């Protein structure tokens, strides 16, 4: 039988919870209570719409609140396409940057590079949105002119802007998981006459890989939740569902995401009408479920890295 | 005294207890239309300097956003570029909507420079309906350039949209369910139409600069195009004219009354004119 962790047990027995422990417990309880309260309030307000239109919301793409149609599928499609595409664009650049910072950059420069990357993450998203309106919209419209888009407001523009926005998040987390591979292993690889490229290939990447995927998923969660920047350049066109999920044509057309809908004036109009208001809050719930899914998965993978066995 | 660890909970309790006493001086909350906003914002600035009033002006949700905020008790005055409707009264039966005229404005149908240069200078109601319902999709059929029509719809709920839909379909409720890319605040409509080829949208006429965006004349049943000029707003010949409103719950009192009285005074009229609108008639 295992020996009891004797010291710890006596410590717990002898001393009553002091002020620090008490405060921490109280804060944690308050946090949980707030979270629970928010969720209960949220679901309760959304309930009229879930009861009346729950199924329709997930299967229909028609949203006309004046006619009591609350289909969210086109928005779910918009959110999914925009954030996945953003990730697809951002991840290769972010991974390459992370590898460069972690494996090539001299020790002395590394903190500076990290600080620069994290500075990018701290820029308020409305700034990205305004830059998007001023420059990116026009560039994209000109660049894609052969395909004759109606304007620069399109899913693709939103995806490109979002890619720039999640780039620092993915880079910094990916770099962390590369750094978490112990330096001793790199030294050992050097001792076995592997060069730097081979070390990265054979030793570092295989171990850091889950963490890097985790970083990407955190970026995806970040992208799904982004509101204002997307709102300004996506065009906010309701009810545009493609014939096929692989059809690229909708990418150069305007669309709507869950967040751009929630950021619009309909939230103000919906207040006071239980059904409409509930439908708006249900959009939020759908977003919450999607984001939680990706972020938890990302955290799970990040924790799998070798520094935290 | 340096607080010890043990006193932290006590301190926290004290802090929480102290929060209510920190409440700020009473603020007049004005929410609504981006069209009315420049006038109210400037008047609020003047009253803050001269009378020490604290007025917070916000354009969340446009006209309808403002009316709903007033109905729900989240604001003291709603700015609106559309009148109160039966639906508003039904929704908030306990609210006594009291509307005050702040000015007169025309809603313009604006086009981007290339459309204007391409020869489109006027439009009639049927043509606009066809664009709205996506039956007309190229400017060529309106005598303009061979270019797709990029229609940016003002977000439903915006005062401009309600006025536009009332004109187009008799009553906004009769408008067919269509989906267009949407624009919200006036600033956004102006920027996007200016930066997009073949663009058309709805915008308050006083925001039109005549260089990057242009206001189309509206052709009436007699075939005469009427431009959205002050003259045509005054004589009522321009069909998309509208009153800009300040709306309260019951007769305005205190700071709300001072703000409304100021905007309706000769000095207030100067501010209204400065922003391109006409003083109330």
**Which of A133, A151, A268 lies at the smallest CB-CB distance from B150?**
A151
Among candidate residues A298, A284, A294, the one with its CA nearest the CA of residue A76: A284
* pLDDT of amino acid A1: 45
* CA–CA gap between residue A259 and residue A230 (Å, rounded): 8
Same domain (yes/no): B63, B130: no
Tell the residue number behind the tokens 């970083």, with chain if given: A215
Task: With respect to residue A198, please indicate whether it lies within any of the assigned structural domains.
Answer: yes
Can you give chain B as a three-state secondary structure string? CCCCHHHHHHHHHHHHHHHHHHCCCCCEEEEECCCCHHHHHHHHHHHHHHHCCCEEEECCCHHHHHHHHHHCCCCCEEEECCCCCHHHHHHCCCCCEEEEEEEEEEEEEEEEHHHHHCCCCEEEHHHHHHHHCCCCCEHHHHCCCCCECEEEEECECEHHHHHHHHHHHCCHHHCCCCCCCEECCHHHHHHHHHHCCCEEEEEEHHHCCCCCEEECEEECCCCCEECCCHHHHHCCCCCCEEEEEEEEECCCCHHHHHHHHHHCCHHHHHHHHHCCCECCC
State how many domains chain B has: 2
Same domain (yes/no): B144, B91: no
Task: With respect to residue A39, please indicate whether it lies within any of the assigned structural domains.
Answer: no
* pLDDT of amino acid A271: 78
Same domain (yes/no): B175, B86: no
Same domain (yes/no): B93, B112: no
Angle, in degrees to the nearest 10, between helices B266-274 and B254-263: 70
Same domain (yes/no): B157, B264: no
Is A264 within 8 Å of B182 when comparing Cβ atoms?
yes
Asked if the model's pLDDT at residue B134 lies above 80, the reply is yes
Same domain (yes/no): B28, B60: yes
Same domain (yes/no): B164, B94: no
* pLDDT of amino acid B2: 43
Range of the domain at A209: 52-303
Q: Quote the distance between the C-alpha of residue A252 and its chain's center.
A: 23
DSSP string covering A245-307: TT--GGGGS-B--HHHHHTSTHHHHHTT-HHHHHHHHHHHHHHHHHHHHHHHHHHHHHHTSTT
Q: Which chain B positions have a beta carbon within 8 Å of A137's beta carbon?
A: 192, 195
Task: With respect to residue B2, please indicate whether it lies within any of the assigned structural domains.
Answer: no
Provide the CATH number for the domain around residue A147. Answer: 1.10.3720.10
* pLDDT of amino acid B19: 44
Same domain (yes/no): B230, B254: no
Quickly state the pLDDT bin for B11 (edges 50, 70, 90).
Answer: very low
Task: With respect to residue A191, please indicate whether it lies within any of the assigned structural domains.
Answer: yes
Strand pairing report for B28-32 and B77-80:
parallel
* pLDDT of amino acid B21: 40
Q: Quote the distance between the C-alpha of residue B169 and its chain's center.
A: 20
* pLDDT of amino acid A301: 83
CA–CA min distance A183, chain B (Å) = 40
Listed in sequence order, the residues at least 6 apart from B71 whose beta carbon sits closer than 8 Å to its beta carbon are A272, B88, B91, B92, B95
A266 near B CB under 8 A: yes
Provide the CATH number for the domain around residue B31. Answer: 3.40.190.10
Same domain (yes/no): B140, B186: yes
Least confident of A7-21, A194-208, A292-306: A7-21
Asked if the model's pLDDT at residue A11 lies above 60, the reply is no
Task: With respect to residue A1, please indicate whether it lies within any of the assigned structural domains.
Answer: no
Strand pairing report for B55-58 and B28-32:
parallel
The answer for A 223-252 residues in CB contact with B (under 8 A) is: 232, 235-240
CA–CA min distance B50, chain A (Å) = 33
Quickly state the pLDDT bin for A306 (edges 50, 70, 90).
Answer: low
Least confident of A48-57, A262-271, B244-253: A262-271
A15 near B CB under 8 A: no
Task: With respect to residue A178, please indicate whether it lies within any of the assigned structural domains.
Answer: yes
Is A237 within 8 Å of B148 when comparing Cβ atoms?
no
CA–CA min distance B268, chain A (Å) = 29
Asked if the model's pLDDT at residue A193 lies above 80, the reply is yes
Contacts across the A-B interface (CB distance below 8 Å): 101
Length of chain B: 281
CA–CA min distance A286, chain B (Å) = 22
- Name B202's bridge partners: B109
* CA–CA gap between residue B152 and residue B172 (Å, rounded): 17
Same domain (yes/no): B168, B256: no
Among candidate residues B158, B151, B162, B253, the one with its CA nearest the CA of residue B196: B151
Asked if the model's pLDDT at residue B14 lies above 50, the reply is no
Task: With respect to residue B279, please indicate whether it lies within any of the assigned structural domains.
Answer: no
Q: Which chain A positions have a beta carbon within 8 Å of B69's beta carbon?
A: 268
Range of the domain at B156: 106-234
Asked casually if ipTM beats, i.e. exceeds, 0.90, the reply is: no
The tens digit of pLDDT for each residue in B256-268 reads: 999 999 999 999 9
Which residue in chain B is spatially nearest to A151 when comparing CA positions?
B196
Task: With respect to residue B281, please indicate whether it lies within any of the assigned structural domains.
Answer: no
The answer to whether the beta carbons of residues A66 and A247 sit under 8 Å apart is no
Task: With respect to residue B34, please indicate whether it lies within any of the assigned structural domains.
Answer: yes
Helix or strand (DSSP H, E) at A43: helix A19-59
Task: With respect to residue B5, please indicate whether it lies within any of the assigned structural domains.
Answer: no
State how many domains chain A has: 1
């Amino acid at each position: 039988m295992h020996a009891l962790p004797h010291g710890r047990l006596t410590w717990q027995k002898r001393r009553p919870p002091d002020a620090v422990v008490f405060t921490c417990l109280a804060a944690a309880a308050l946090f949980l209570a707030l979270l629970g309260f928010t969720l209960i309030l949220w679901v309760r307000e959304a309930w009229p719409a879930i009861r009346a239109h729950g199924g329709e919301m997930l299967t229909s793409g028609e949203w006309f609140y004046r006619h009591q149609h609350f289909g969210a599928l086109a928005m779910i499609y918009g959110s999914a396409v925009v954030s996945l595409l953003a990730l697809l664009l951002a991840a290769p650049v972010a991974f390459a940057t992370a590898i460069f910072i972690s494996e090539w950059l001299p020790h002395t420069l590394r903190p500076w590079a990290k600080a620069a990357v994290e500075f990018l993450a701290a820029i308020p998203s409305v700034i990205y949105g305004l830059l998007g309106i001023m420059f990116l919209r026009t560039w994209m419209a000109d660049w894609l002119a052969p395909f004759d888009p109606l304007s620069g407001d399109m899913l693709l523009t939103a995806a490109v802007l979002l890619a720039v926005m999640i780039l620092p998040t993915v880079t910094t987390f990916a770099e962390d998981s590369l750094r978490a591979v112990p330096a001793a292993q790199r030294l050992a690889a050097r001792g076995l006459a592997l060069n730097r490229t081979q070390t990265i290939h054979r030793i570092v990447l295989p171990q850091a890989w889950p963490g890097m995927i985790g970083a990407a998923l955190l970026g995806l969660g970040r992208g799904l939740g982004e509101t204002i920047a997307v709102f300004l350049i996506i065009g906010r066109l309701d009810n545009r569902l493609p014939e096929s999920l692989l059809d690229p044509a909708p990418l150069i057309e305007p669309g709507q995401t869950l967040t751009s809908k929630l950021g619009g004036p309909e939230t103000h109009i919906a207040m006071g009408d239980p059904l409409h208001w509930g439908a708006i809050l249900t959009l939020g719930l759908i977003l919450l479920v999607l984001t939680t899914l990706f972020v938890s998965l990302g955290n799970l993978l990040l924790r799998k890295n070798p520094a935290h066995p | 005294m340096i607080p010890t660890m043990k006193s932290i909970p006590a301190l926290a309790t004290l802090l929480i207890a102290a929060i209510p006493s920190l409440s700020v001086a009473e603020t007049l909350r004005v929410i609504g239309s981006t069209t009315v906003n420049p006038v109210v914002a400037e008047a609020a600035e003047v009253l803050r300097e001269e009378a020490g009033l604290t007025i917070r002006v916000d354009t969340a949700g446009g006209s309808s956003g403002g009316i709903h905020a007033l109905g729900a008790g989240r604001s003291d005055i709603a700015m609106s570029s559309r009148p109160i409707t039966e639906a508003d009264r039904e929704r908030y039966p306990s609210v006594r909507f009291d509307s005050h005229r702040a000015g007169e404005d025309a809603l313009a149908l604006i086009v981007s420079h290339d459309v204007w240069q391409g020869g489109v200078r006027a439009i009639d109601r049927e043509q606009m309906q066809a664009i709205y319902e996506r039956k007309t999709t190229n400017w060529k059929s309106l005598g303009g350039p061979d270019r797709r029509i990029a229609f940016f719809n003002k977000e439903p709920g915006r005062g401009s949209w309600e006025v536009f839909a009332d004109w187009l379909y008799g009553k906004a409720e009769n408008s067919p369910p269509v989906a267009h890319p949407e624009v919200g605040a006036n600033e956004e409509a102006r920027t996007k139409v200016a930066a997009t080829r073949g663009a058309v949208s709805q915008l308050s006429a006083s925001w039109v600069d005549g260089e990057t965006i242009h206001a189309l004349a509206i052709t009436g049943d007699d075939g005469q195009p009427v431009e959205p000029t002050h003259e045509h707003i005054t004589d009522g010949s321009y069909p998309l004219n509208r009153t800009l409103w300040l709306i309260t719950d019951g007769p305005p009192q205190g700071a709300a009354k001072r703000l409304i009285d100021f905007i309706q005074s000769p000095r207030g009229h100067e501010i209204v004119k400065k922003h391109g609108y006409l003083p109330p008639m």
